[in-house]
Chain A
Amino acid sequence: MPLAMPEPESRALVNRGALADALRRFLPAAAVIDDAPSLRAYESDAFTLYRQPPMLAVLPQTTAQVARILRLCGELGVKVVPRGAGTSLSGGALPLADGIILGMARFNRVLEVDYANRCAVVQPGVTNLAISQAVAAAGFHYAPDPSSQIACTIGGNVAENSGGVHCLKYGLTTNNLLGLEVVLMSGDVVRLGGKHLDPEGYDLMGVLTGSEGLLGVVTEVTVRILPRPASARALLIGFAGNEAAGDCVARIIAAGIVPGGLEMMDRPAIHAAEAFCQAGYPLDAEAILICELDGPPVEVDDLVVRVEAIARAAGAVSLKASASEEERLRFWAGRKAAFPAVGRISPDYICMDGTIPRKALPQVLARMAELSAKHGLRVANVFHAGDGNLHPLILFDANEPGEAERAEALGADILRLCVEVGGVLTGEHGVGVEKRDLMGTMFNEHDLDQQMRVKCAFDPDGRLNPGKVFPQLRRCAELGRLHVSGGRLPFPDLPRF
């Protein structure tokens, strides 16, 4: 499917050589990449349906360098696409023909671990997992754990407001940040928050988190670190139908239990995972739940008994509680391997990411089966059941003419369905280019205009990662215009006092 990106500007293209020269004046030669073979490494992120080599790739190492690069790009009319590890599943780091890739991988140092204040100060190119590793010896961890945590960077996590399987209890990235250093497109450097809670003034850190690289470039991150739970156990529960599994989730929540993780897989996902890694999943079940409870052993053991009773009442057909750490990890192994497992049974797949109200799950799965039949493509479902975040995996073969387009069309139908039942287009992968053109199903013109006005406050010339998130770019001058309609109150009965 053709993807309409902003028309490349000739002024930027003409300035390519001048920009490379100017950059080399203050950056090491290896930090400015302009040869075609090397640039190909940046032509897509983990959303591989679209590819576009950037004009240049630039790899700064200091905040001052980032500020200078952004100022220079502003002067020469060049767009900037920030990139962490390139694990975005929505094309957030897809390059532009007339823009540079600003690669943040060299910002790779843990600057400070501060146990007295229970935080860590890190550079944005540090991987998510490396933060937890840096504090593990002292019994701490960084709670959000997206499944790409080995590779994805904390800077990317901030840009996408990444989640993970433990969100229901421990929150998303936005709930675990204390401070940011950010460079604006103007080259201004602002520090937001610090080691204290709650920002002074407007919560600009909050709006930057999840802004997909459109507002500023993060150059330093202060995260909260938490003591690791004393223990954890998981239950593996099989059900004869999706309704019963969904019902069990509702009952667990209604009983006042907030599990550390609550995951669901449907039959196709169960079979793919079991064939891949023999986790011991029940192959006769239509759906399984993995419910993880964490905390002190006395609490976990108590909750395991309660959840077992709830599961039986909800009609579980199989039920196992992990008796050892090894068994707990085995229950998770299948879920964690679900994506590669699906990759083995299908030449290609795309992973969707809608969120729905939990109660809509059976209805959504039934409708999804109809859509799957309509488009003639298989769908396997893994689902963060605790917080309603669906990950349907659409299986296709890119070598079959038309299948990629059908997969995208099916994905769009699934996301429209999520919105229709009261949910949203994306729970944790971001809008990027993937869901950009569906934004209108969730937001009207006023909603989107206000978001774009916030973008204008940060980046008035629209040079930072344009073509992402918003279906139609509008000029800031146009967005700023006020529409004043008469001084009379159209509601004459509006109470006045």
Chain B
Amino acid sequence: MAQGLRPRDEGELQAALAWALAEGQPLALRGQGSKLGFGRPVAAGQVLDLSGLAGIVVYEPEELVLTAGPGTPLSEIEGLLSQHRQQLAFEPADYGAISGGPAGRQTLGGVIACNISGPRRVKAGAARDHLLGFKAVSGRAEAFKSGGRVVKNVTGYDLSKLMAGSHGTLAALSEVTLKVLPAPEATATVLLLGQDDRAAIAALAQAAGSPHEVSGLAHLPAAAAARSQAAQGRAMTAVRLEGPTPSVRHRADELVKLLARQGATLLLDAQASFGFWQEVRDVQSLLPADRQLWRLSLAPGAGPAVVAELARRLPALDYYYDWAGGLVWLALPPTEDAWHPAVRGAVASAGHATLLRAEAGVRAAVPVFQPQPPALAALSQRVKASFDPKGLLNPGRMHPGP
């Protein structure tokens, strides 16, 4: 068990970082450890355990805003919101199971640090779009804040965007304020069956371009579809609708009409729909567990071509699409290099690829995050240094070195 510190408030967090700064002691930031396998292995002898900075500070349903400590379990927040028929609209996925940690344990801070979202990303945005403000302590051991508690705010730089997706390499969060939204009254999913990738992504583009306000657009080719609880014996192309009951009913009818021209359709009711999108969101059940896992973010229309290119080059490709083709989950047989030259070669300029699951040795040797052109990499490094000049926070997490 690593040694570490477990602050209980912002003052203690600041003190912990002041100590680390004075000692030159790098720290591995951790909530519940559900995503320890996400990113490169961190080179730090001490753990900064943020699970003590937990609890919901303020929740004002009529203001659509919630403030909580970063160590607050996400399940606690989602439970409270659902009592008020509200939700985190970005639908944070639980990567616990796929990244080697426990499922159902992740904290708010981890969700923000990894900028995690789910299938509703296409309509509602990612974690970054719902982070209204935060308090944190930087690698300079200075407590600072940014943003506020209101949606419309352009006062000063939007540092919330930098914090979301920084994997704990800029500052340690001490408080997080989120925008929350009403939960939809009704939900339904239209399935189109038996399509190949190209036809499926074209159908999803048609749905996304329709005025039916879709909130989920996924395609499971036959192999992945067979693992779903909603399995229909062939590929499934799924479009989710959410909103007031009469509206969902109407839009579902319209979408069935639209998609029926292309093939057989099926309507999933609310309960089946909920289960299906949870599978799509959390990945674990739809792809084999013993594979290395890549997450590709692409221009949606490019999805099938990138996958076809990979299928030509790689053995035993297993995958599915979310975000209308813009998110591809790719499972590959384990190798030393995680096939990264082939994966990144196929992605080329259509987006970027992240190695989401591989053993630690592989993640240390292979660029887990998309390598950047020199000018951009240098700028990112200067931004990092502006928060954490000594490289104390999660060193090595995103790139080799501090």
| Interface positions of A (Cβ within 8 A of B) | 114-118, 138-140, 160-161, 163, 167-168, 171-172, 174-175, 184, 188-192, 194-207, 209-211, 227-230, 250, 253-254, 256-258, 295-296, 298-299, 302-303, 355-359, 384, 387-389, 422-431, 435, 439, 442-444, 446-451, 453-458, 469, 480, 482-491, 494-497
Contacts and interface: CB of A to CB of B under 8 A. Distances in A.
B143 A446 contact: yes
B125 A454 contact: no
Interface of B: 1, 3-8, 11-12, 15-16, 18-19, 21-23, 47, 49, 52, 60-65, 85-86, 115, 117, 121-122, 125-126, 128-129, 138, 140-146, 148-162, 164-166, 170, 181-183, 185, 205, 208-213, 243-244, 246-247, 250-251, 254, 297-302, 323, 326-327, 349-352, 354, 369-370, 372-373, 375-376, 378-380, 382-387, 389-390, 398
B299 A195 contact: yes
A7 B251 CA distance: 61
Given A453-B387, A495-B6, A202 B243 contact: no
Contacts of A358: 62-63
B158 A210 contact: yes
Contacts of A357: 60, 63, 65, 149-150
Contact of A424 (B142, B150, B351): B150
B21 A495 contact: no
Contact of B161 (A174, A389, A426, A430): A174
Nearest to B323: A197
Contact of A443 (B64, B145, B181): B145
A188 B375 contact: yes
Contacts of B6: 494-497
Chain A interface mostly: loop
23 contacts: A115-B205, A116-B300, A117-B301, A118-B209, A161-B158, A190-B376, A194-B299, A194-B349, A204-B376, A206-B160, A210-B154, A228-B211, A296-B211, A298-B250, A425-B155, A427-B152, A427-B154, A453-B386, A453-B387, A454-B159, A454-B162, A482-B21, A489-B16
B375 A207 contact: no
Contacts of B297: 196-198, 200
Nearest to B351: A196
A295 B166 CA distance: 36
B62 A254 contact: yes
Contacts of B141: 483-485
A491 B161 contact: no
Given A140-B209, A227-B210, A454-B162, A253 B62 contact: yes
Given A140-B209, A190-B376, A443 B156 contact: yes
A491 B148 contact: no
A312 to B, nearest CB: 19
Contacts of A198: 115, 117, 121, 126, 128, 165, 297
Contact of B389 (A227, A454, A482, A486): A482
Contacts of B243: 295, 299
A387 B182 contact: no
Contacts of B145: 443, 447
A173 to B, nearest CB: 9
A116 B349 CA distance: 17
A202 B299 contact: no
A389 B152 contact: yes
Given A199-B165, A427-B150, A442 B372 contact: no
Contact of B150 (A195, A196, A387): A387
B159 A207 contact: yes
B165 A203 contact: yes
A477 to B, nearest CB: 13
Given A196-B298, A484-B141, 13 more contacts: A115-B205, A116-B205, A184-B375, A194-B351, A195-B299, A206-B161, A253-B62, A428-B152, A431-B154, A450-B142, A457-B383, A480-B389, A482-B140
Given A209-B161, A256-B185, A439 B299 contact: no
Contacts of A195: 299-300, 302, 350-351
Contacts of A192: 376
Nearest to B347: A196
Nearest to A451: B157
A227 B150 contact: no
A201 B153 CA distance: 24
B154 A202 contact: no
Given A295-B213, A485-B18, A197 B121 contact: yes
Contacts of A295: 213, 243, 247
> Which of B153, B164, B208, B349 gathers most chain A CB within 10 Å?
B153
Contact of A190 (B157, B301, B375): B375
Given A196-B352, A198-B165, A388-B150, A171 B125 contact: yes
A209 to B, nearest CB: 7
B63 A196 contact: no
A218 to B, nearest CB: 15
B90 to A, nearest CB: 11
Given A201-B398, A230-B211, A449-B142, A454 B165 contact: no
Contacts of B11: 491
A296 B247 contact: yes
A184 B378 CA distance: 12
A185 to B, nearest CB: 11
B18 A258 contact: no
B252 to A, nearest CB: 11
A119 to B, nearest CB: 8
Contacts of B121: 197-198
Contacts of A296: 211-213, 247, 250-251, 254
A189 B375 contact: yes
Contact of B181 (A258, A489, A491): A258
Nearest 7 A-B pairs (CB), nearest first?
A206-B161, A299-B247, A256-B182, A195-B299, A196-B351, A427-B152, A116-B301
A476 to B, nearest CB: 9
B52 A495 contact: yes
B8 A495 contact: yes
A461 to B, nearest CB: 13
Contacts of B302: 117, 195
B152 A172 contact: yes
A457 B247 contact: no
Contacts of A491: 11-12, 15
Contacts of B375: 184, 188-190
Contacts of A442: 148, 155-156
> Which of A160, A356, A497 gathers most chain B CB within 10 Å?
A497
B154 A426 contact: yes
Contacts of B12: 491, 494
A495 to B, nearest CB: 4
A236 B254 CA distance: 31
Contacts of A483: 140-141
Nearest to A184: B379
A490 B122 CA distance: 47
A253 B64 contact: yes
A195 B4 CA distance: 42
A472 to B, nearest CB: 14
A402 B196 CA distance: 73
Contacts of A427: 150, 152-154
Contact of A201 (B63, B86, B370): B370
B246 A298 contact: yes
A202 B164 CA distance: 8
A487 B23 contact: yes
A422 B8 CA distance: 25
B299 to A, nearest CB: 4
Contact of A302 (B62, B155, B247): B247
Contacts of A250: 62
Nearest to A206: B161
A58 B159 CA distance: 31
